[in-house]
Homo-oligomer: A and B are copies of this chain.
Amino acid sequence: MTEPSVSSPSPVQDLIERARGGEARAVARLITLVESGSAALPEIASTLAPSAGAAMVVGLTGSPGVGKSTTTNELVRAFRAAGQRVAVLAVDPSSPYTGGAILGDRVRMQDHATDPGVYIRSMSSRGHLGGLSAATPAAVRVLAGVGFDVVLVETVGVGQAEVEIASLADTTLVLLAPGMGDAIQAVKAGILEIADIFVINKADRDGVEATHRDIQGMIALGGADRGPGDWRPRVVKAVAAKAEGIDGIVAAIEEHRTWLTDTGQLTERRRRRAAAEIEAIALGQLRARFADLPGAGLAALADKVVTGTLDPHTAATQLLDDLV
């Protein structure tokens, strides 16, 4: 009798092993496979599922010019100093047509290029529906699944992008800088609802106390909706360009993490996140089917709406009738 042959691992298993070992190229390949909806996706997703929730996911957002890249860079340094593997996803929701960051990657990479415990990737959030909501969560799951302890998701923006980052992250940091818009603008931008931690960056500038007061005032005003066990957003000051105040940011992140775990909010947030992700994937698949419909497909219906012979609601009903 012959010994049973030792089966060799599949290409995907091999890729995942190499990614877990810290090979940046293997991580990149996995994310690309997942993003592109490759045939290997089911195997990747199911292999990584048990460990895909293991990372701490930190969102970081703020207006252009507030110092997001510099702050991210310093946070990476701090987490590395604590022995953690760190991945950065720099999501650029701004360039849907041309795709992606302009010089972000190359600038940042330089500081951490030789460190196998750091992985940095830019993603554009192309497209109308499901930009941040489709590719980014999938990439986060890959990064967590291959063993990164911290995943930092950085995105520009007010409004929609911020809301999406909050739905994606365990902990959301909102960066502000003195003199970049008053409290009313901040409230208008809805950041109070999504920020777990406010970072006042460039805190060596004039106006830092006024900004600090404004934010604290906003948080106090929002207090009516907070119960005794609820999280009250922290406000920390930093000068990321001089590496000042980074410890305070990390401490606030850890404090929030403890609160999330102790209150069960971590599981709650992740349930919502998973539901949104499943839904986005399902809707994406349906969208693809719309494009494949024969005959009176979407384009023909759109023509009728433009010429005024059909309204969009009737058109949508016809589209769904064709589909199901």
Q: Cβ of A46 and Cβ of B129 under 8 Å apart?
A: no
Give the interface SS of chain A, mostly helix, strand, loop or mixed. helix
Q: Is there a chain B Cβ closer than 8 Å to A114's Cβ?
A: no
Alpha-carbon distance A162/B162, docked complex (angstroms): 14
Alpha-carbon distance A310/B272, docked complex (angstroms): 15
Q: Cβ of B98 and Cβ of A315 under 8 Å apart?
A: no
Alpha-carbon distance A275/B181, docked complex (angstroms): 37
Q: What band does the interface of chain A fall in when counting residues whose beta carbon is under 8 Å from B?
A: 35 or more
Given contacts A45-B311, A49-B305, A190-B94, A163 and B282 within 8 Å (CB-CB):
no
Q: Cβ of B95 and Cβ of A193 under 8 Å apart?
A: yes
Q: Give chain B residues whose Cβ lies under 8 Å from the Cβ of A314.
A: 42, 45-46
Which of A152-160, A200-208, A237-245 interfaces with chain B?
A: A152-160
A267 CB to nearest chain B CB (Å):
6
Q: Cβ of B286 and Cβ of A320 under 8 Å apart?
A: yes
A303 CB to nearest chain B CB (Å):
6
A271 CB to nearest chain B CB (Å):
5
Which B residue's beta carbon lies closest to that of A185? B64
Question: 0/1 per residue, A217-253, Cβ < 8 Å to B?
Answer: 0000000000000000000000000000000000000
Which B residue's beta carbon lies closest to that of A303? B271
Alpha-carbon distance A80/B21, docked complex (angstroms): 67
Which B residue's beta carbon lies closest to that of A132? B160
Q: Cβ of B308 and Cβ of A41 under 8 Å apart?
A: no
Which of A5-13, A255-263, A294-302 interfaces with chain B?
A: A294-302
Which B residue's beta carbon lies closest to that of A276? B128
Q: Cβ of B302 and Cβ of A188 under 8 Å apart?
A: no
**CB contact between A129 and one of B129, B141, B158, B159 (< 8 Å): that residue:** B129
Alpha-carbon distance A283/B312, docked complex (angstroms): 12
Could you list 20 examples of A-B contacts with CB < 8 Å? A41-B313, A51-B308, A94-B189, A95-B193, A97-B190, A97-B193, A98-B190, A101-B188, A102-B188, A137-B312, A157-B159, A159-B159, A277-B305, A278-B301, A278-B305, A279-B316, A279-B319, A281-B315, A285-B320, A286-B286
Q: Give chain B residues whose Cβ lies under 8 Å from the Cβ of A158.
A: 63-64, 94, 156-158, 161
Alpha-carbon distance A67/B324, docked complex (angstroms): 47
Q: Cβ of B49 and Cβ of A309 under 8 Å apart?
A: yes
> Top 10 nearest A-B pairs by Cβ distance?
A45-B311, A94-B190, A281-B316, A275-B302, A274-B305, A93-B159, A274-B302, A160-B160, A64-B185, A50-B308
Q: Give chain B residues whose Cβ lies under 8 Å from the Cβ of A193.
A: 95-98
Q: Give chain B residues whose Cβ lies under 8 Å from the Cβ of A162.
A: 94
Q: Give chain B residues whose Cβ lies under 8 Å from the Cβ of A93.
A: 159-160
Interface residue ranges of A40-61 to B (CB < 8 Å): 41-42, 45-46, 48-53
